[in-house]
């Protein structure tokens, strides 16, 4: 299974999709909770544009793939949109408008909706019917491993950045060091210092988002090695030996 160029390309593509996508899903709510000081419930609702975009693209791509039998264009367009959307998220600031946030999240979700299921179609169409379950589980496994590594890498970058950004403030006021482990303590300082703390967190989040850009870019690159295979429209019984 791993000797096939398409299979290997799909597995690697799924791996990097997991790295980029889950990095965004982990840190975007922190942007709403820490920088924009929203509740956890509202932060979850703020992610709806991404989910809506993902659902619309997933459903529409499913209809179009079944109609035209082409899945590669959706993978490529989806990953290009996701890479662009991730890059746009790295431009967010404390004062970004609601329209910007919704637009960036929607672009990301729409792109992911195009490529999440179509990569599964790519792997399923490239193997024998009896191997579909194994191939699908392998693709899911690589995406899951990628998600764990993606969050870990982006988290490391975020933690290092926040320590670096808060360094000058901590030298002036050592009490600010407590904010590193509990961002909600920022509100206990006077407004001028709080603004600087939130800005430090914003810069750290942008660093985390920037790390996810090459992950999505690599997913797009490796998707170019996926070959097109004919999609079967009939269900044939599998004979178990």
| Burial (CB count within 10 angstroms: exposed 0-12, middle 13-18, buried 19+), residue 154 | buried
pLDDT value for 68: 82
Quick check: is 234 in a domain?
A: no
Quick check: is 228 in a domain?
A: no
Quick check: is 229 in a domain?
A: no
Task: Kindly report, residue by residue over 185-240, the tens digit of the pLDDT.
Answer: 787 788 888 888 889 999 999 999 999 999 999 999 999 998 887 665 554 544 44
Going by pLDDT thresholds of 50, 70 and 90, the confidence category of residue 165 is confident
| Residue 204 lies in domain | 5-223
Quick check: is 185 in a domain?
A: yes
Round to whole Å and give the CA distance between 235 and 162: 54
Quick check: is 236 in a domain?
A: no
pLDDT value for 1: 59
* 10 alpha carbon, distance to own chain's centre: 17
CB neighbours (10 Å) of residue 72?
A: 17
User: Of 19, 5, 48, which Cα lies nearest the Cα of 147?
Assistant: 19
Quick check: is 231 in a domain?
A: no
pLDDT value for 235: 46
CATH number of 12's domain: 1.20.1250.20
Long-range contacts of 57-61 (CB under 8 A, 24+ apart): 57/109, 57/110, 57/111, 57/112, 57/113, 57/114, 58/113, 58/114, 58/116, 58/117, 59/113, 61/113, 61/114, 61/117, 61/118
Mean pLDDT of 146-155: 94
Round to whole Å and give the CA distance between 136 and 197: 45
What is the overall mean pLDDT for the chain?
88
Mean pLDDT of 49-68: 90
Task: Kindly report, residue by residue over 87-139, the tens digit of the pLDDT.
Answer: 999 999 998 999 999 999 999 999 999 998 898 888 888 778 887 888 889 99
Quick check: is 51 in a domain?
A: yes
Report the domain count for the chain. 1
Beta carbons of 146 and 18 less than 8 angstroms apart: yes
pLDDT value for 238: 46
Quick check: is 238 in a domain?
A: no
Task: Kindly report, residue by residue over 18-56, the tens digit of the pLDDT.
Answer: 999 999 999 999 999 989 988 889 999 999 999 999 999
Going by pLDDT thresholds of 50, 70 and 90, the confidence category of residue 11 is very high
């Amino acid at each position: 299974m791993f000797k096939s160029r398409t299979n290997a390309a799909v597995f690697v593509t799924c791996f990097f999709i997991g790295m980029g996508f889950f990095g965004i899903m982990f840190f975007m709510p922190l942007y709403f909770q820490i920088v924009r000081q929203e509740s956890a419930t509202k932060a979850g609702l703020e992610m709806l544009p991404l989910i809506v975009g993902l659902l619309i693209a997933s459903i529409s791509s499913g209809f179009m793939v079944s109609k035209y039998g082409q899945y590669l264009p959706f993978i490529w367009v989806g990953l290009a949109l996701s890479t662009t959307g991730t890059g746009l998220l790295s431009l967010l600031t404390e004062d970004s408008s609601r329209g910007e946030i919704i637009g960036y999240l929607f672009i990301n979700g729409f792109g992911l909706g195009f490529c999440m299921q179509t990569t599964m179609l790519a792997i399923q169409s490239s193997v024998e019917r009896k191997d579909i379950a194994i191939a699908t589980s392998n693709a899911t496994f690589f995406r899951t491993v990628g998600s764990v590594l993606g969050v870990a890498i982006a988290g490391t970058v975020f933690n290092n950045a926040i320590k670096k950004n808060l360094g000058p403030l901590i030298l002036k006021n050592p009490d600010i060091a407590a904010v590193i482990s509990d961002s909600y303590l920022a509100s206990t300082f006077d407004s001028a210092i709080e603004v600087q703390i939130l800005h430090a967190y914003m810069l750290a989040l942008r660093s985390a988002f920037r790390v996810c850009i090459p992950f999505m870019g690599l997913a797009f690159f490796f998707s170019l090695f996926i070959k097109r295979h004919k999609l079967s429209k009939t269900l044939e019984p599998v004979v178990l030996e």
